[in-house]
Chain A
Amino acid sequence: MLAYTLRRLWQFIPTLAGVVLLVFFLFNWVGGDPAYLLAGKISNPATIENIRRQLGVDQPYWVQLWIFVRQILSGDFGVSWNTNETVANIFRTRLGPSLTVLVPLLAISTLLAMAAAMLVAYVRGSLTDRAVMVTCTVAQSVSILVYILVFQYVLAYQLGWFPVQGWGVTFADNLFRYAVLAIIVGVAVSLAPDIRLYRTFFLDEINQDYVRTARAKGLSERRVMWVHVLRNAAIPIVTNILLQLPGLLAGAFLIERFFGIPGIGREVILAVERSDFPIIKAVTVYVAVTTMVVNLAADLLYKAIDPRVQLK
Chain B
Amino acid sequence: MKETGVWMLAWRRFKRDRLGVVSLLVVIVYAAVMLAAASGLIVPDWGNEAGVSFAPPTFLGPEEESPQLASMADGSQPLADYGIADPLAPDLAEIAKSLSGSASGSEARALTLPLGGDKWGRDVLKKAVKGTQTSLFIGLAAAALAAFMGTLFGALAGYRGGKVDDFFNWLYSVFTSIPYLLLVLAIAAVVNSKGVLPVILILGLTGWTGIFRLVRAEYMKHKVREYVMAADAIGASDSRRMFIHILPNVSHVVLVQLSLHVVLFIKSEVVLTFLGFGVGVETVSWGSMLAEAGSELLLGKWWQLTAATVFMALLVTAFSLFTDAMRDALDPRLK
| Chain A residues proximal to chain B, CB less than 8 Å | 14-15, 18-19, 22-23, 26-27, 30-31, 134, 137-138, 140-146, 149-150, 153, 157, 246-247, 250-251, 253-254, 268-269, 271-273, 275, 277, 280, 283-284, 287-288, 291-292
Contacts and interface: CB of A to CB of B under 8 A. Distances in A.
A145 B271 contact: yes
A288 B186 contact: no
A280 B177 contact: no
Given A149-B305, A268-B182, A272-B277, A15 B271 contact: no
Contacts of B270: 143, 145
B79 interface: no
A247 B321 CA distance: 26
Nearest to B317: A141
B170 A18 contact: yes
Given A26-B187, A144-B271, A247 B313 contact: no
B290 A149 contact: yes
Contacts of A288: 177-178
Secondary structure type dominating chain B contacts: helix
Interface in B174-197: 174-183, 185-192
Contacts of A287: 178-179, 182
B40 interface: no
B313 A138 contact: yes
Among B173, B182, B316, find the residue whose CB has the most chain A CB atoms closer than 10 A.
B182
Contacts of A271: 189
B205 to A, nearest CB: 11
Contacts of A246: 179
A145 B294 CA distance: 9
Nearest to B181: A251
Contacts of B208: none
A143 B179 contact: no
B171 A141 contact: no
Contacts of A251: 179, 181-182
Contacts of A138: 313, 317
Nearest to A143: B270
Nearest to A164: B298
A141 B275 CA distance: 19
A141 to B, nearest CB: 3
B210 interface: no
B137 interface: no
A266 B113 CA distance: 37
A287 B183 CA distance: 10
Contacts of A19: 174, 177-178
B174 A15 contact: yes
Among A23, A138, A141, A269, find the residue whose CB has the most chain B CB atoms closer than 10 A.
A141
Contacts of B276: 273
Contacts of B179: 246-247, 250-251, 287, 291
23 contacts: A15-B170, A15-B174, A15-B177, A26-B186, A30-B191, A31-B192, A140-B320, A141-B316, A142-B309, A142-B313, A143-B271, A143-B286, A144-B267, A145-B271, A145-B287, A149-B305, A251-B182, A253-B181, A272-B188, A272-B275, A280-B186, A283-B182, A287-B179
